[in-house]
Structure 1
Amino acid sequence: MTLDVVRTAYAARSAEYIALFGRVDQVAEIDRDFILAWALGLQGPVLDVGCGPGQWTHLLSGAGVDVEGVDPVPEFIDSARANYPSDRYRVGRAENLGVGDAALAGVLAWYSLIHTEPELIDVPLAEFARCVRSGGGLALGFCTGARLEPFEHAVTTAYFWPIDSFAARVEAAGFTVSRTATRTEPGARPHGALLAIRR
């Protein structure tokens, strides 16, 4: 699944996606608390990678976090800038974050890598490792399952990751996984979350 395919697919459904997920009050309170607690424990700049319409960037900015949102879909960035004009957003991609080595205190990639093919997942993880300073943090949200396998996401093909398998890839990139969490809710895909510290 190339970036161009994913970007085109999301651009085509951007208005629908923004209506469903463009405000942070549309997401689970448990996830808001999880991400806020993580980000408030960091000292320095944070990048919200795959920020979509900007809801997580806005939440963190409002809590006093030095955060910037990055997304490859221009329609999402335009919407984020219009709805949250006091926050910082730019077009960018997980594989090339456009910041210096060890420039970040943390990277949030909440459901941002779900369309990345498993054989390519090490590329964005290596970029996160390059950009996050020693002792900095990584927070990931993803679809979890008993097997690593594709599924038909509403926008384009995505992947279920077993927690242990995803954690192993994160560790191999240069992080130490400090926490994992899963939950399943009626009518929703199984949710996985992972926190890690840059070695």
Structure 2
Amino acid sequence: MMDHDALSVTREAYDAAAPVYAQMFRDELRNRPLDRAMLAAFAEVVSASGDGQVADLGCGPGHITAYLQELGLAVRGVDASSAMIESARQTYPGLRFDVGSMAALDIADGALGGVLSRWSIIHTPPRELPVVLAEFHRVLAPGGHLLIGFSASEGPSHPTQVFDHAVAPAYRWSPDHLAAMLRTAGLAEVARMVREPQPADRRQFKEIYLLARKSEADSAQLGT
């Protein structure tokens, strides 16, 4: 079970920050070529696997959801903040956005060809992250892909670290530790990208993308 207090704190904080956040991050990909490259790779592997739907979980104001649509994906956005979802609906009226929790998605088993979780797990308390990863596995079809982005902790001796996030309590993760958690959840790492902090970055943390895949063998669990 998820800690509803932690979820409520995060939801309320992002509700309050939604207008500023939407304005601040609307064009963030413009100067982030490595992020665009990882999103493009994600779109390509999902498209190559079939016509699966994609969910942008923790979509915020919807700018990345819209970018994934530009890359040719059939995508929807989900976020716990109703204010963020309202902002996304107003800015991108042609896309679907729903209020929801990553720990209890209103999505059928095996319905998705891809899941994007871009800096959305950072507000999940470490003891609760396995619940979220299990939910990612549940909604992915066999052979489906997960792209997960997060800030790196300082070395393998620190599997998780709290950091001072501007909006809500947040955590950094050891990439190897999180990759192991993905394996436990039934999601095998395919690739990773490490982006070193740049002088202009607000926070001087390494940023990580992990691309993982759900095994085709899981099709037996879906009765196929």
The bucket for the TM-score relative to the shorter chain is over 0.9
Q: Report the alpha carbon displacement of residue 190 of structure 1 after superposing the two structures with TM.
A: 1.6
Percent identical among aligned pairs is 38
SS in 1 for 2:123: coil
Alpha-carbon distance in structure 1 between the residues aligned to 2:182 and 2:27? 29
Letter in 1 for 2:135: E
Q: Matches of residues 85-104 of structure 1 in structure 2 within 5 Å?
A: 85-104=93-112
Amino acid at match of 2:37: D
Contact 1:142 1:161 in 2 (8 A): yes
Count the aligned residue pairs.
Answer: 199
Structure 1 portions without partners, runs of 5+: none
Give the drift of 1:97: 1.5
| Conserved? CA contact 2:57–2:120, under 8 Å | yes
| 1:23 counterpart (20, 27, 31) | 27
TM-score (norm 1): 0.95
Shift of 1:22: 2.5
Partners of 1:61 and 1:93 lie apart in 2 by: 22
> Any runs of at least 4 consecutive aligned residues in structure 1 with deviations exceeding 2 A, and if so which?
22-27, 186-189
Deviation readout 1:35-78 (Å, 9 max, x if unpaired): 12212321210000000000111011122211000111111111
Q: CA deviation at 1:23?
A: 3.5
Q: Is the 8 A contact 1:105 1:133 kept in 2?
A: yes
RMSD: 1.4
Larger Rg: 2
Q: 3-state DSSP class of the match of 1:61? A: helix
Aligned equivalents of 2:35, 2:169: Cα separation in 1: 24
One-letter code aligned to 2:181: R
- Aligned equivalents of 1:33 and 1:55: distance in 2? 16
Kindly provide the amino acid, as one letter, of the partner of residue 39 in structure 1.
A
**Equivalent of 1:110 in 104, 118, 121:** 118
Q: Is the 8 A contact 2:112 2:141 kept in 1?
A: yes
Q: Is the 8 A contact 1:24 1:59 kept in 2?
A: no
Matched to 1:121, the amino acid is L
Q: Deviations over 1:116-174 (max 9, x none)?
A: 11111001100010110111000000010222210111111111111100101111101
CA distance in 2, matches of 1:37, 1:106: 12
**Residues 122-161 of structure 1 mapped to structure 2, 5 A cutoff:** 122-145=130-153, 146=155, 147=158, 148-161=160-173
TM-score for both structures, normalised by structure 2: 0.85
Query: Mapping of 1:1-199 within 5 angstroms?
Result: 2-23=6-27, 25-26=29-30, 28-42=32-46, 43=50, 44-145=52-153, 146=155, 147=158, 148-184=160-196, 185-186=198-199, 187=201, 188=203, 189-199=205-215
Amino acid at match of 1:162: S
Going from structure 1 to structure 2, the CA distance change for 1:100 and 1:113 (only over 3 Å counts) comes to same
- Alignment-mate amino acid for residue 17 of structure 1: Y
Structure with bigger helix share is 2
Return 5+ residue gaps in structure 2 as ranges: 216-224
